[in-house]
Amino acid sequence: MSRFLVRRLIQSVVLLFIVLTITFFLLRLAPGDPMSRYYNPDFSPEMARQVRESLGLDRPLIEQYFRWIRAFARGDFGESIRYQRPVRELLAEAIPNTLRLTIAALALHILVGIFLGVLSAARRYSPFDRVNTIAALFVYSIPEFWLALMLILVFSLKIHALPSSHMQSLDVEGMSALSLFLDRARHLVLPAFVLGIASAASTARYMRGSMLDVLREDYIRTARAKGLPENRVILKHALKNAALPVVTIIGLDLPFLLGGAVIVETIFSWPGMGRLAVDAIYARDYPVVLAINFVVAAIVIIANLLTDIAYGVLDPRITVGRGGGK
């Protein structure tokens, strides 16, 4: 197990390095530079040249690359060109916000997806199952941005039930801890729903299929022959087996969740990493873009590692970290 972890960790570092290198050069291939946004009659080419020089952008690209890699290896993410603040500070503000959104969405994804999938399989071909199938297909087919706008239209603008943007109300000063929590929870509902519901729908479909496969297995017949009630057959004997492939899918889904967060955060003015990334890309704020890429890549790699470990916990036939075996 520990040897497996060490090997995976080394692989991860190499992978991160490759991802960052590609990002660095791709970013520089894009037209424009951090000066683009300053262009106006008062900003002379001479001033632009001076700023570029101060940022080191006039050096050969390969030299910039190595300088940046060295700084990165020391843990120095540099300074945002746009905000004139350390990137580390910007990330420290944005990451917890994105985590709040994605964890809520992931919880919705897992709980709703598995619950509906199991229920659908247990009541196969019932009206519930049919409605569920159609609803899942429908939800899965809707683009996130459109769903977000429609929900804002209905819940924020028509019935005024939920806020349409930001993480909390403007007048939070002097609120009690409880009402602050409730205020933040209300702000979380729409973005987390938009972000999680499509994956929940697909997970529900996978879960249903996986569950139906497992319910045909001989050991399910054995469990019934023991005299176990059907709900225990499903929740104990079938669920653990059926969850195996679904765990992988949830793990592989995480990059899409983080990608979706970019859109959702932009629509709901959520001050997280996704919105920071979009703004940074528009402003060609290279240090910020690279740092966010680093964080997202690291999260995805860690999530994949956790998925592999979860597999070993769920299925005793799989020994994580040993070659061969059954």
Partner 1 sequence: MDTLIDVRNLTTVFETEQGGSRVVDGVSFHVDSAEAVGLVGESGCGKSVTALSIMRLISSPGRIAGGEILFEGRNLLALSEKEMRKVRGNKISIVFQEPLTSLNPVFTCGEQVREAIALHQKVSRSESKTRAIEMLRLVRIPDPEKRYGAYPHQMSGGMRQRVMIAMALSCEPRLLIADEPTSALDVSVQGQVIELLCELQARLRMAVLLITHDLAVVAQMASRVIVMYAGSIVEEAPVRELFDATAHPYTQGLLGSIARLGQRSGPLSTIPGNVPDPFGLPPGCRFSDRCPRRFEKCSSAEPPLIDISPAHRSRCWLCGGRG
Q: Which stretch binds partner 1 (CB under 8 A): 10-18, 33-41, 145-153, 219-227?
A: 219-227
Q: Which stretch binds partner 1 (CB under 8 A): 8-16, 165-173, 195-203, 223-231?
A: 223-231
Q: Say how far apart CA 271 and CA 35 lie, in whole Å.
A: 24
Which of 73, 218, 231, 323 forms a contact with partner 1 (CB under 8 A)?
218
Is residue 154 at the binding interface for partner 1, with CB under 8 A as the rule?
A: no
Is residue 22 at the binding interface for partner 1, with CB under 8 A as the rule?
A: no
Which CB, 174 or 316, lies closer to partner 1?
316
Q: Say how far apart CA 309 and CA 311 lie, in whole Å.
A: 5
> What angle separates helix 87-122 from helix 286-314, to the nearest 10 degrees?
40
Q: Binding string, 241-260, against partner 1, x = CB under 8 A?
A: x-------------------
- Find all residues with CB under 8 Å of 48, minimum gap 6, and list them: 35, 38
Are 204 and 136 within 8 A, CB to CB? yes
3-state secondary structure of 272: coil
Is residue 299 at the binding interface for partner 1, with CB under 8 A as the rule?
A: no
Are 180 and 168 within 8 A, CB to CB? yes
Nearest residue to 287 (alpha-carbon basis) of 123, 88, 46: 88
Is residue 129 at the binding interface for partner 1, with CB under 8 A as the rule?
A: no
Question: Least Å distance between CB 244 and partner 1?
Answer: 8
Question: Least Å distance between CB 138 and partner 1?
Answer: 28
Question: Least Å distance between CB 8 and partner 1?
Answer: 24
Is residue 3 at the binding interface for partner 1, with CB under 8 A as the rule?
A: no
Is residue 222 at the binding interface for partner 1, with CB under 8 A as the rule?
A: yes
Give φ, ψ of 213 to 5 degrees: -60, -50
Question: Least Å distance between CB 4 and partner 1?
Answer: 20
Query: What DSSP designation does 175 have?
Result: -
Is residue 229 at the binding interface for partner 1, with CB under 8 A as the rule?
A: yes
Query: What DSSP designation does 283 have?
Result: T
Question: Least Å distance between CB 241 and partner 1?
Answer: 6
Q: Say how far apart CA 76 and CA 90 lie, in whole Å.
A: 13
Give the interface size with partner 1 as a residue count (CB under 8 A): 20
Which CB, 29 or 225, lies closer to partner 1?
225
Nearest residue to 220 (alpha-carbon basis) of 243, 247, 241, 206: 241
Q: Binding string, 301-320, against partner 1, x = CB under 8 A?
A: -------------xxxx---
Q: Which stretch binds partner 1 (CB under 8 A): 67-75, 193-201, 235-243, 278-286?
A: 235-243
- Find all residues with CB under 8 Å of 195, minimum gap 6, and list them: 101, 102, 104, 105, 144, 257, 260, 261, 264
Which of 33, 224, 245, 312 forms a contact with partner 1 (CB under 8 A)?
224
Which CB, 33 or 315, lies closer to partner 1?
315
Residue 219 has which token pair? Answer: 């050991």
Are 308 and 244 within 8 A, CB to CB? no
Query: What DSSP designation does 79 have?
Result: B
Is residue 293 at the binding interface for partner 1, with CB under 8 A as the rule?
A: no
List residues near partner 1 by CB under 8 A. Answer: 217-219, 221-229, 237, 240-241, 314-317, 326
